[in-house]
Amino acid sequence: MVDVAERLEELWAEKPGLADFIGTVDHKRIGKRYLYTAIFFFVVGGLEASLIRLQLSHANLHFLNPELYDQIFTMHALTMIFLFVIPALSGFGNFVVPLQVGARDMAFPRLNAFGYWIFLMAGIFMSSAFIVGRAPDAGWFSYVPLSNAHFTPGVNTDFYTLGVIFISISSTAGAINFIVTIAKMRAPGMSINRIPLFCWGELAMAISSVFAFPALTLAALMLELERRLGFHFFDIGKGGDPILWQHLFWIFGHPVVYIIILPALGITASVIPTFARRAMIGYAWVVLGEMAVALLGFGVWVHHMFSVGLPAISLSMISITSFVITIPSGIVVLAWIATIFSGRIIRKTPMLFILGFILIFVIGGLSGVMFAAIPFDQATTDSYFVVAHFHYVMAGGAMFPIFAGIYYWGPKMTGRVLNEFWGKVSFWIMFVGFNVGFFPMHITGLMGEPRRVYTYQPGLGWDVWNMIETIGVFIFSVGALITLINWWWSAKHGELAGNDPFGGETLEWGTTSPPPHYNFEHIPTIRSRHPVWDQPELRGGDQPIEAGGRALDDAHVTLSTSLLDARPQALIHMPHESGYPFALSMSLLVFFFGLLSGFLVVVGVGGLFAAASVVGWLWPRGQTQET
């Protein structure tokens, strides 16, 4: 059926050149951009981490002064959370989800492009704070009153408030896109009990995001109004309350942990069956577990505030939910290890990263349950024990799956397999480095080392452990660097991947590597939860019409299917390349810089251009009829 491929190519291909480079709406291109940009910020965040570790490697060092140290540790958190982990996982989601559900693109391709550009602009916005030497320095949690205009009068915290509002736009847009894509664009036959587990992870993350980001946006908005326009929300003297900030921040701040970890669990659940050569045991348990985690994640925020002096009854309630959330998380882990135990494990690099991840995540999870015990939390909160804990769940817990994803889906993205030897070397160095770097933080925390100190005194027994931590973090960096070089090198010189280098079960392995612009020549019909394993025709890279495939080669359309059982309902016209998402996000960058600098002219110019971009975006062209 060469003519189908030709017609689809004509409909879906993007032209080379600047216009389509900026205007691209191809989820694969956008996904890779998310990933590459996130990796760039990973390097930035890693450099910040190295500076922190150098400063803390020994007692009483003056390598960084407190002013600089505060900026760097704040930016380290902001960079790693908002500019590396969340967008990197969004990058995999963007690239993989439409392929796994058998769609031609994301539900809202231009919104998708917009989400990426906003992420980039917000990254530029926040990073530019270093250029002017006024990066946020009140911590990523920016507790008031420390972060108000009285105690931090500079623009440092304005970079923070405006920056997080800016990036929230991107995350919310991305989340809505994921939900609709997974809900409405699944290939015919992919009923709700056949959704790949990675998509479930992304879906749970996206649902969480829709309800969590408004809390951050609101808190940051209130803080900015208080700082700049003299409003009062947190100011005791005018009837406000600093605790309100903590509530709002952690109503976002705890779910965001799950927003980070759920897609990582999704990667894990994608990799394990492939390399255990068997389907995930307890599919329904895993799905319900992840959904329960996403839901319960909204009921545990107060355990970040156990030492605030809240009434014992609220502490106990939150303590219960914090214990209970262990059960669904535990179920997910048990399903993995049962699958591993009963499988035939193939020890390739993606699987090594996942096995390493499981150990790290379990350690982080176990230290996490301990915080549910109120008195223990009150003793260890704000100590290095917490730093150890959340680096195990959020840093190791996200980074190891991200690296697994690079080795697992990298071949799908570039068409070439990453070098296996250097992959394994990289894994072992990272795994050893991570544990050497972060495990001792449990110990110094229990010894009484508080968080966020720019230095400490000698003679407390903290020096040795801190030196070990620093060494570990540098070892880890070397390992990570090896993968980045491996990825770059293998993309050019690696072995050709073929459609399915690892023998995966999900649909992305049923098309070429890299996939064509239109993803699948024929949108396949799914008859199993493991389509590529159970439907031999997909292993050939295409499901012809005789086997139930749908070409959809008459127009630039994709299929809308029903929510639960994925019956075909309609064909949706998809938008073409557009420069407006880029124009709008550029205008918003100007707008936000205007707000930051206080120059109303700049605000006005940014606002006008933004309005013009929206008009251009929505202006009906060509076909004026509603689709």
Residues 249-268 that bind another protein (CB under 8 A): 251
Look at residue 311 and give its three-state secondary structure. coil
Binding window for another protein (CB under 8 A); candidates: 196-204, 370-378, 398-406, 432-440? 370-378
Binding window for another protein (CB under 8 A); candidates: 93-101, 118-126, 527-535, 543-551? 543-551
Residues with Cβ within 8 Å of residue 335, at least 6 apart in sequence:
280, 281, 282, 283, 285, 286, 289
Contact call for residue 108 and another protein (CB under 8 A)? yes
Q: Closest separation between CB of residue 19 and another protein, Å?
A: 25
How far apart (Å, rounded) are the C-alpha atoms in residues 344 and 14? Answer: 42
Look at residue 560 and give its three-state secondary structure. strand
Span 457-486, contacts to another protein by CB under 8 A? 457, 460
Closer to another protein by CB, 236 or 600: give it: 236
**Residue of 10, 21, 317, 452 that binds another protein (CB under 8 A):** 452
Q: What is the full DSSP assignment across 253-277?
A: HTHHHHHHHHHHHHHHHHHHHHHHT
**Residue of 54, 134, 228, 242 that binds another protein (CB under 8 A):** 242
Span 134-193, contacts to another protein by CB under 8 A? 138-139, 143, 145-146, 151, 172, 175-177, 179-180, 183-185
Closer to another protein by CB, 290 or 553: give it: 553
**Residue of 16, 239, 536, 622 that binds another protein (CB under 8 A):** 239
**Residue of 551, 583, 588, 596 that binds another protein (CB under 8 A):** 551
Amino acid at 329: S
**Residues 438/469, Cβ–Cβ less than 8 Å:** yes
**Residue of 14, 382, 420, 565 that binds another protein (CB under 8 A):** 382
Closer to another protein by CB, 424 or 514: give it: 424
**Residues 555/584, Cβ–Cβ less than 8 Å:** no
**Residues 317/300, Cβ–Cβ less than 8 Å:** no
Span 566-595, contacts to another protein by CB under 8 A? 568-573
Q: Closest separation between CB of residue 414 and another protein, Å?
A: 27
Angle at 38 between CA 195 and CA 172, to 5 degrees: 55
Which of 180, 163, 181, 172 has its CA nearest to residue 120? 163
Closer to another protein by CB, 49 or 292: give it: 292
Contact call for residue 597 and another protein (CB under 8 A)? no
Amino acid at 141: F
Contact call for residue 547 and another protein (CB under 8 A)? no
Binding window for another protein (CB under 8 A); candidates: 89-97, 209-217, 403-411, 414-422? 209-217
Closer to another protein by CB, 42 or 306: give it: 306
Closer to another protein by CB, 51 or 334: give it: 334
Closer to another protein by CB, 372 or 404: give it: 372
Span 281-340, contacts to another protein by CB under 8 A? 281-282, 285, 307-309, 312, 315-316, 319-320, 323-324, 326-327, 330-331, 333-335, 337-340
Contact call for residue 51 and another protein (CB under 8 A)? no
Q: Closest separation between CB of residue 485 and another protein, Å?
A: 28
Q: Closest separation between CB of residue 22 and another protein, Å?
A: 23
- List alpha helices for 64-155, DSSP H: 66-78, 86-101, 109-131
Strand partners, 558: 572
**Residues 7/89, Cβ–Cβ less than 8 Å:** no
Task: Return the percent helix, strand and coil in the chain, to nearest 5.
Answer: 70, 5, 30
How far apart (Å, rounded) are the C-alpha atoms in residues 377 and 374? Answer: 5
Please report the sign of the dihedral spanned by the C-alpha atoms of residue 525, residue 531, residue 536, residue 542.
positive
Closer to another protein by CB, 58 or 451: give it: 451
Contact call for residue 456 and another protein (CB under 8 A)? yes
How far apart (Å, rounded) are the C-alpha atoms in residues 518 and 223? Answer: 45
**Residue of 553, 577, 581, 584 that binds another protein (CB under 8 A):** 553
**Residues 74/126, Cβ–Cβ less than 8 Å:** no
Residues with Cβ within 8 Å of residue 276, at least 6 apart in sequence:
339, 340, 342, 343, 344, 345, 346
